[in-house]
Amino acid sequence: MEGLTPASGQYPSDAAAIALSLNEPAAFAAVFERHFPLVHRFLCARAGVDPAADLASETFAIAFRRRADYDLGRPDARPWLIGIAVNLARQARRSERRLNRALARLAGERTLPQESPEARLEPRGNITTLREVLAELSQDDRDLLLLFACLEFSYEQIAETMSLPIGTVRSRINRLRGKLRGRLTGAAGEAGV
C-alpha cells in the first residue's frame, strides 16, 4: 500500500483529488485523510461510538465507488460524504430495529429495550448534554442539529447533504433554535459554560 497515501494537502480541493482519482484511484486517499476524522466524529454523535468506526469506513468505501457521480463543481466534498454517512446511519438504525424485533419475536417478548445511539456516547461533561439533547429530537432534527451546530455546515451545505430545499433547512434550524434555547442555556449554566 505504500505510495497510495498522498498527503491530504496535496490537492487544492476535494474536487481536484476526486477528479484525479478517476484516472489514478489512489488520489482518493487524500479525501480520506482530510475528512475521516470529521465523518467518524459525526457518526459517533449520530449513531454511537461502537458503530461509528464501521460506518465511517463504509462511508469512504462507498464514496470511492461512487466518485464518478461526484459533482466536480463543488470543491468541498464534506456535504457529499456526510450525506452518505447519514444514509448509512439511518440504514443501520433500521437494521438494528428489525434485528431487535426479530429477537423479540424469538424470545417471545414484545420488544427488546433499545439503547439509543445517544445513550452510547460517553457521559463526560458536555457530552452528556449533547447526548440528552439529541435524544429528545427526531431523526431529521438530530441530523440538522449535528450538521449546523457541530459540523458548522452552512445552510447550503446542509441542503445539499440532506437533499432538502434551503428554505426548509432555514425554517427547521430556526424552529430548532427556539426549541432548544431554554434547554441548552439552562444546561450551559449548569455546566459552567
Contact footprint for other proteins (CB under 8 A)? 1, 4-5, 21-26, 28-29, 32, 36-37, 40-41, 44-45, 49, 52-53, 56-58, 60-61, 64-65, 68-69, 121-122, 124-127, 129-130, 133, 145-146, 148-152, 177, 180-181, 184-185, 187-188, 191, 193
Query: Minimal distance in Å, beta carbon 116 to other proteins?
Result: 16
Closest CA to 45 of 129, 126, 130: 130
Query: Minimal distance in Å, beta carbon 45 to other proteins?
Result: 7
3-state helix, strand, coil in the chain (%, to 5): 75, 0, 25
Query: Minimal distance in Å, beta carbon 74 to other proteins?
Result: 17
For residue 100, CA distances in Å to 50, 91, 97, 105, 131 come to 17, 14, 5, 9, 22
Query: Minimal distance in Å, beta carbon 160 to other proteins?
Result: 20
Nearer to other proteins by Cβ, of 41 and 90: the residue is: 41
Query: Minimal distance in Å, beta carbon 121 to other proteins?
Result: 8
SS3 of residue 120 by DSSP: helix
CB proximity list for 88: less than 8 A, separation 6 or greater: 43, 55, 58, 59, 62
Nearer to other proteins by Cβ, of 45 and 159: the residue is: 45
- The three cell numbers locating residue 9: 494537502
Nearer to other proteins by Cβ, of 20 and 112: the residue is: 20
Query: Minimal distance in Å, beta carbon 112 to other proteins?
Result: 27
Do 34 and 14 meet the contact criterion of CB atoms below 8 Å apart?
yes
Nearer to other proteins by Cβ, of 16 and 112: the residue is: 16
Own/partner contacts of 128-131, CB < 8 Å, gap of 24 or more, are: 129/184, 129/187, 129/191, 130/45
Nearer to other proteins by Cβ, of 153 and 160: the residue is: 153
Nearer to other proteins by Cβ, of 6 and 83: the residue is: 6
